[in-house]
């Protein structure tokens, strides 16, 4: 069970609403030239990132509808269709991209507001994840908004990620690393709590720093330049985030 499946919607909604507001402010400042520029994600422009977030919101709105109606509505009709929708949507001008993003995110938030209180544990069909409770739509949408806001390269980095998101996501990321055979042996330590988080056999170096910097590095959004390694040396090579 992931943290997405245990959190109450009321816990995350205020955080998500603020994250959406900040994302839309950044997106609205982008020009047509800006959205054509490459993002930090290989092969994707900023327009691809914006389109991806919008379609991610729509997919979660669909899952909420599935839980509410009892219909078997998958998150996406397939990986190929998902990729095609992003590629086709990325060619639009900035104003159209932002309008689509705002509409999709607000539609999702409205669906969350309207969702029956007794239907948050209804299992729905996630892409690649099988049947899992629909409550995960909120936490996963927060992840999409915060991490891909960073991928717009407009100055929104890990240090701006909400502390609640960082705490929960770091815990989830470490749990996933512990299940991976390609994860390096190391001990992660956030300066906020000083709790050792062993990965692998825990005999590797100790990597420490602010929790947001640790998560940003593990997620491939920073080079880990703000982290300390003991004994001194290069940072371990971590596998692709949730690949």
Residues 74-103 have a mean pLDDT of: 94
145 and 175: one domain? no
What per-residue string of b and e applies to 158-176 under the rule 16 or more CB within 10 Å gives b? beebbeebbbbbbebbbee
If one counts the domains in the chain, the total is 2
Same domain (yes/no): 75, 34 = yes
CATH of the domain at 191: 3.30.1050.20
Q: Which of 132, 156, 180 is the last residue of a domain?
A: 156
**What is the percent of the chain with per-residue pLDDT over 90, rounded to a whole number?**
86
- Does residue 19 lie in a domain region? yes
Residue 221's Cβ-count burial label (10 Å; 0-12, 13-18, 19+) is buried
Residue range(s) defining the domain that contains residue 184: 163-230
Same structural domain for residues 118 and 78?
yes
**pLDDT band, residue 11 (cuts 50/70/90):** confident
Question: Is 153 in contact with 46 (CB distance < 8 Å)?
Answer: yes
Q: Establish if 13 belongs to a structural domain.
A: yes
pLDDT value for 1:
34
Assess if residue 243 is contained within a domain: no
């Amino acid at each position: 069970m992931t943290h997405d499946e245990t959190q109450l919607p009321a816990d995350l909604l205020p955080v998500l609403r603020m994250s959406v507001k900040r994302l839309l402010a950044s997106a609205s400042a982008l020009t047509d030239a800006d959205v054509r520029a490459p993002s930090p994600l290989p092969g994707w422009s900023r327009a691809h990132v914006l389109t991806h977030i919008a379609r991610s919101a729509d997919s979660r709105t669909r899952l909420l509808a599935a839980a509410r109606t009892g219909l078997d509505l998958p998150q996406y009709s397939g990986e190929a269709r998902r990729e095609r929708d992003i590629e086709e949507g990325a060619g639009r001008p900035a104003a159209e991209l932002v309008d689509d993003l705002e509409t999709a995110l607000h539609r999702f938030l409205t669906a969350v507001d309207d969702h029956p209180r007794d239907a948050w544990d209804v299992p729905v069909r996630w892409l690649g994840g099988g049947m899992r409770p629909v409550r995960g739509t909120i936490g996963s949408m927060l992840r999409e908004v915060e991490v891909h806001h960073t991928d717009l390269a407009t100055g929104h980095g890990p240090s701006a990620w909400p502390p609640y998101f960082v705490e929960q996501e770091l815990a989830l990321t470490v749990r996933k690393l512990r299940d991976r055979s390609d994860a390096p042996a190391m001990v992660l330590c956030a300066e906020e709590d000083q709790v050792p988080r062993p990965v692998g056999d825990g005999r590797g170096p100790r990597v420490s720093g602010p929790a947001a910097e640790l998560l940003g590095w593990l997620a491939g959004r920073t080079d880990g330049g703000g982290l300390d390694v003991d004994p001194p040396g290069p940072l371990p090579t971590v596998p692709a985030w949730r690949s």
